[in-house]
Structure 1
């Protein structure tokens, strides 16, 4: 197991070196390698169709696609986990589409078009969004949001947890995700929305 950890760490370091030319690629490196390292809740294709995923890799990591291969010793387990996550994702696809539409309304033209779908897919996981995306910490997610969705990041001026913030935005748009509190300050779940993420 230690050998696998070393191999995946080297893989991450090599892919991050490839990504050193741009912040978008740095974040994408984490997103792509997360499922291959057993980190986060994304399937291997990040929630994208096969052609979309192939284009994303071609655009950002064309000369280094060998770096994203799963460890052969873990390949079966990783694929099984990915298949299950894709099945769960399809069950909640209407919800995912609403999240994509929200994100797309704010996406910077410089950010990859696939990013909204990747983030929306991770929102269906059961942990903090940064963990479900496979990022190393919350600050990486905040940085990604600032670069790819600056106007949406600015709306989260109270540093609400990202998933809760997205669903609050859907609620305010008249979606089916209703928050029962008259205001955040009066809500009994305030700490769940604004408390620290560990």
Structure 2
């Protein structure tokens, strides 16, 4: 009897100690679906590197993500495995490291798999030449902020200077890897480069 009571007590304690997973926010999940659609579409259109179409996810995981975001899609056609793996491996070092940067600063509690997907979507979009929200297929910086703050609140809290998110991500990546020459984000199609990189433009002015 005493042993059974102890087992029941242990079960109650384990349940109390288990992390409480937040109920997924429907609005945020809709934003995630729109971002998945936007990144994959822009990769197909040539506005992002073609490797961004895979989101640097294994093909089975990508199919799981697509089924989750777009349940109306019945049977997803797979790309030949070797072709898909070759494409996925073309993702840049920076893209892969941005995924790790975000995942190391997840909001607690969130659904871990959703955060995993979100990190891959954001990192893939960050390889583009426009505003992050444009390459994610979202309606503006506010929607990117909503997505990031939901899944990666500790990361967002560090942006006390309110830098553009893509600039901030690459700055954080450079801080994480001081011995690596981290490339600057590609912002060649953004009209606000001068606002984000004033020091670089000031240096160019001196040289000319």
Q: Which residue of 1 aligns with 2:100?
A: 101
- Higher radius of gyration, 1 or 2: 2
**Structure 1 unpaired stretches of 5+:** 1-20, 70-78, 180-188
Is 1:57 aligned with 2:66? yes
TM-score, scaled to structure 1 = 0.61
What is the CA–CA distance in structure 2 between the aligned matches of 1:94 and 1:36, rounded to whole Å?
22
Query: Per the alignment, do residues 178 and 120 of structure 1 end up closer, same or farther by CA in structure 2, a change over 3 Å counting?
Result: closer
What is the CA–CA distance in structure 2 between the aligned matches of 1:106 and 1:56, rounded to whole Å?
21
1:73-112 to structure 2, matched below 5 A, reads: 87=87, 90-108=89-107, 109-111=109-111, 112=114
Q: CA deviation at 1:45?
A: 4.0
Secondary structure of the corresponding residue to residue 73 of structure 2: helix
What is the CA–CA distance in structure 2 between the aligned matches of 1:51 and 1:30, rounded to whole Å?
20
Per-residue CA deviation, residues 123-175 of structure 1 (Å, 9 max, x unaligned), is 11111111111112111001111111111111112210111101111122234
1:31-50 to structure 2, matched below 5 A, reads: 31-34=35-38, 35-36=40-41, 41=48, 43-50=52-59
Question: Is the CA contact 1:31–1:46 (under 8 Å) kept in the aligned structure 2?
Answer: no
**Equivalenced residues, count:** 149
Question: Is the CA contact 1:122–1:133 (under 8 Å) kept in the aligned structure 2?
Answer: yes
What is the CA–CA distance in structure 1 between the aligned matches of 2:58 and 2:98, rounded to whole Å?
17
* More helix, by proportion: 1
Query: Per the alignment, do residues 115 and 55 of structure 1 end up closer, same or farther by CA in structure 2, a change over 3 Å counting?
Result: same
Query: Per the alignment, do residues 144 and 128 of structure 1 end up closer, same or farther by CA in structure 2, a change over 3 Å counting?
Result: same
TM-score, scaled to structure 2 = 0.58
Query: Per the alignment, do residues 150 and 171 of structure 1 end up closer, same or farther by CA in structure 2, a change over 3 Å counting?
Result: same
Query: Per the alignment, do residues 178 and 60 of structure 1 end up closer, same or farther by CA in structure 2, a change over 3 Å counting?
Result: closer
- 28, 34, 47: which one aligns with 2:32: 28
Q: Which residue of 2 aligns with 1:143?
A: 146
Q: CA deviation at 1:51?
A: 0.5
Query: Per the alignment, do residues 172 and 46 of structure 1 end up closer, same or farther by CA in structure 2, a change over 3 Å counting?
Result: closer
What is the CA–CA distance in structure 2 between the aligned matches of 1:61 and 1:162, rounded to whole Å?
27
Secondary structure of the corresponding residue to residue 65 of structure 1: coil
